[in-house]
Amino acid sequence: MRYQGREVDEGRVRLVMESALTARDRVGVQDFVLLENYNSEATFIENLRRRFRENLIYTYIGSVLVSVNPYKELEIYSKQQMERYRGVSFYEISPHIYAISDNTYRAMRTERRDQCILISGESGAGKTEASKKILLYYAVTCPTKDHMVTLGDRLLQSNPVLEAFGNAKTLRNDNSSRFGKYMDIQFDFKGATMGGHILNYLLEKSRVVHQNQGERNFHIFYQLLDGGDDDLLNTLNLERNPHSYRYLVKGNCPRVSSISDKNSWKVVRKALEVIGFTEEEVQKLLNIIGSVLHLGNTLFGEGEEGETYITTENQLSNVATLLGVDGSALKEALTHKKLTAKGEEMISPLNFEQAVSARDALAKAVYGRTFNWLVEKINQSLALKADIYHSSQGASVIGLLDIYGFEVLQLNSFEQFCINYCNEKLQQLFIELTLKSEQEEYETEGIAWETVQYFDNKIICDLIEEKHRGIISILDEECLRPGETCDISFLEKLEDTVGGHPHFITHKLANGKTRRVMSREEFRLLHYAGEVNYNVNGFLDKNNDLLNRNLKEVMCQSENQILSHCFRREEVIDQKRPEMAASQFKNSLMKLMEILMSKEPSYVRCIKPNDAKQPGRFDEVLVRHQVKYLGLMENLRVRRAGFAYRRRFEAFLQRYKPLCPETWPNWNGKLADGVSALVNHLGYKAEEYKLGRSKIFIRFPKTLFTTEDALEAKKPEIAVTLQKSWRGYRERAKYQRIRHAVIVIQSAWRGMKGRRRAKRRREAVQLIRRFIKGFIYRHEEYCDENDYFLDHVRYSFLKNLRKNLPKSVLDKSWPTPPALLVEASDHLQRLHMRNMVIKYCRRVQPEWKKQMMQKVVASEIFKDQKYSYPHSVGRLFLDSRLERAQISLKVLQTLGSEKVQYGVSVIKYDRRGFKPRPRQLLLTNTFAVLVDRTKIKQRMDYAALRGISVSSLCDGMVVLHMPCEDNKQKGDALLHCSHVIELVTKLAMMASKTNYVNVSPGSIRFAVSRTKEGIIDFIRGPELKVAKGKRGHLLVTAPPSSAS
């Protein structure tokens, strides 16, 4: 009986009914068994469509999981989702691949019986992704030991390696598995992974040498060319362009937009390293891959007498080097074959077609056997010990079968025949095990078993595999029959042997209507999933799958350890004919059936919604085709033959007990009695349900839906009751918590307040005692008795000082310090004053700084010397007293590069006669000039300036003393200026003659000529007056206190 999961968690019955029953009109039902019209295929597909539209890609048919490929990433595979499904009952939450993974794992652990999960579906339906998700779930959720982490990584990393060597781009799928895979994952008694083993089936070796239009060879070839580094490709003598290799261009599709071969190459190399491949093994493996490409480029020519020879010796040399074989022996083996007749060996040349076939057969054999070696190597890395597989150490096993689904192509050949035969066997097993499981559950619960009508496909399986009369036996006989045999003779023998079988039709045996759609080279089998036409062309060659004996001998002598392992010398010595491909597949399939029969199976049926790989698109015709070929309707009919719904008593009672007063809120009697009371209250009729020993069985989904709707209507009333009770309980508990907290806080607070009060009083007493003692010893040296008092005095002074610091450099106030801080106070006062001065200076603007410097110089010259100086202190000195327009352009041109720094209007008095003349005095950086309108009348170089004389009165007279010996300087200049202090200050600073300024209180002498002097007399008067006085002196009358 299938294990249905944990029903009780921590003493409480878990709700195992699906929560989405009430949303069934929008999202459909999540178990097809609950469909009312379960015989309708349209209803089945519409339910699929509804769920697909809501991104609900998983649906159950009982314990079978149906998965629809969404062709986009869904946020349902995170670690949080894994934890959500971990340890939860199978039907408790929505369908998921993790649910079936977890259910299988827990069934293995509790029942100690091996399990298996069978994944099937069309190419592109998501089988490989489903198996990856299952492996990832076990790797994340199963308990692990430190040395088991590597094993989990190897299990996961085996996927990209097998995909690279066994998957290819087809018309239906960009990553189609071209082989069947069965993987056993072994667990110890604690549920931790301890090993694994992989079986592979029917690798599509023909893809190595031929691909249909729009398809590619196996991924590894393109990954090597695109992702391999230059050194590796040079070692293998390969080019990056796939078009250079005949085995890669037949499908005319070397690039695929959805595949990054370069990134995939990095993943594969990393995976090989994790699995445990050595660098030498990887190199040998890549040598074989490169040799296959070179082998495809090995071409043949035909001589005049029909003999065959190789035209591409360079390619053959590359093949021999990479395979590690003798080049001449390989050349001979590709163009000749060895025959044994009556104990004698003969060498026979091959014609052109035979040589090409031998080359392709060698390529297929080398690649196929290398793939088998790769699987064997992975198995060695997954096994803890050499004999771990099928060991008797009590290990439990979960098997994963990822195998091709039913295939119906435009042209169906030998490969499709084997694939569909495999699906017939799996369908036969599926129906048998499903019926067996149902019957066991009914018997366990004491419910009468009703015979189920279903299509038994054993008749088709017998048609294919029956000994001596089955299609495979006939194919083997035709391959072994001496004489000329061909595919048409095989078809004729089928017509003779099984022509009367109801599931077999050929063109010859068909009626007129059927003949129009069948060729003469086809036969039709009526499979459980539908009719399929198989073209017999190539059946015999693919079934023979033989390699010439001399090619085997060459491969046996290879220095490549992989090839020497794959081609055993016993093959050459053994004269027995090897088993045919179809028989090999049949025998391996029989062994697989034995493995699956020994385990408890679970099923995942994968469906592709459209051929364009577009998300959100649902192609009803395509889906109906797959539903038919997967036998889902047959499965549903078997599952619904009895009862649609079944649950354990505790789960059913826990969910629906609010609907009956007797069972609500709690039922204390036997569970069976409680369920009986509940269904009687709900009015179930006798034909609608049965009570087993531990489960209730409900026959019709309508009965369940009515019960679910009644529960939905009851929920508001239940919610109000629960809310009322909960709120009352919550408020009472809250009050008690608050009351207790208040008491605790009050007690703590009062205690803390009392302790604080006592502490403050104690500290206050100690403080007062220290203060008084310090005051008594205040005049003593600093000691323990007075340290606190003196520190307090210092602190008080500094605190008072901080509040009363001077705010300006002109503020000379300063608090009076105590005796012990006099010296420190003086230092602080100086530091503070210096700091204020620095701050003040930093705030001064450049223009104001210049003004201050001029005022300082004026102070040094005129302070306490000239009566007009105090009135000039508050007036700003201007940059110039003349506008630029007032200065003649001709004068500026005459000055040239010398710029006028200051200009002022003056009156010049002649040294002889003292005639006043209006002039402009212009100061430059090196000299001063007196200008009369447009003409420079006198130039006075600063270097020649001997002194500057002014009076102490409030007049504007200034005398510039120049040497009389120099004719250019023209002697002393007598000037009168209204801004005499400004003029003299600027002139003294520019000429650097501040020490040459003379302030005379009475008279000023000046040079009239070299030998004659003149005198200017200054007297006080009511107003300013300049005139020629007696004795030829210049008399200047000036008030003593007037602005100038």
pLDDT tens-digit readout, 811-847 = 888 998 988 888 899 999 999 999 988 888 888 788 8
What confidence tens digit (pLDDT) does each residue in 231-279 have?
A: 998 998 999 888 889 888 888 888 887 788 889 999 999 999 888 888 9
More confident residue, 303 or 578: 303
Q: Return the pLDDT at 3.
A: 36
Q: Return the pLDDT at 350.
A: 81
Mean pLDDT value of segment 888-913: 89
Give percent of the chain above pLDDT 90: 15
Within 8 A by CB and 6+ apart from 407, the residues are 122, 123, 416, 419, 420
Within 8 A by CB and 6+ apart from 268, the residues are 160, 161, 164, 220, 223
Mean pLDDT value of segment 118-140: 84
Q: pTM for the whole thing?
A: 0.61
Query: Does residue 683 surpass a pLDDT of 60?
Result: yes
Query: Does residue 873 surpass a pLDDT of 90?
Result: no
Query: Does residue 391 surpass a pLDDT of 60?
Result: no
Q: Binning pLDDT at 50, 70 and 90, where does residue 17 land?
A: very low
Q: List alpha helices for 54-176, DSSP H.
A: 79-85, 97-111, 127-141, 149-166
What confidence tens digit (pLDDT) does each residue in 838-872 have?
A: 888 888 788 888 888 888 898 888 888 888 888 88
What confidence tens digit (pLDDT) does each residue in 476-526 have?
A: 888 887 766 788 888 888 888 888 888 888 888 888 788 888 888 888 888
Give how far Cα 1005 sits from Cα of 786, 960, 1000, Å: 75, 11, 10
Q: What are phi and psi of 380, to 5 degrees?
A: -65, -35
3 state DSSP class of 838: helix
Q: Binning pLDDT at 50, 70 and 90, where does residue 749 land?
A: very high
Query: Does residue 760 surpass a pLDDT of 90?
Result: yes
What confidence tens digit (pLDDT) does each residue in 920-943 have?
A: 999 999 999 999 988 988 899 998
More confident residue, 89 or 357: 357
Q: Binning pLDDT at 50, 70 and 90, where does residue 642 land?
A: low
Query: Does residue 995 surpass a pLDDT of 60?
Result: yes
27-31, 93-97, 204-208: lowest mean pLDDT where? 27-31
Buried b vs exposed e over 163-196: b needs ≥16 C-beta within 10 Å? bbbbbbbbbbbbbbbbbbbbbbbbbbeebebbbb
Q: DSSP per residue over 996-1022, as a string?
A: GEEEESSEEEEESSSS-EEEEEEEE-S
Mean pLDDT across the chain, nearest whole number?
A: 83
Q: Distance between terminal CA atoms of the chain?
A: 126
94-98, 176-180, 906-910, 997-1001: lowest mean pLDDT where? 176-180
Residues classed as catalytic: 123-124, 128, 173, 176-177, 405, 407
More confident residue, 302 or 1040: 302
Closest by CA to 52, choosing from 513, 614, 566, 438, is: 614
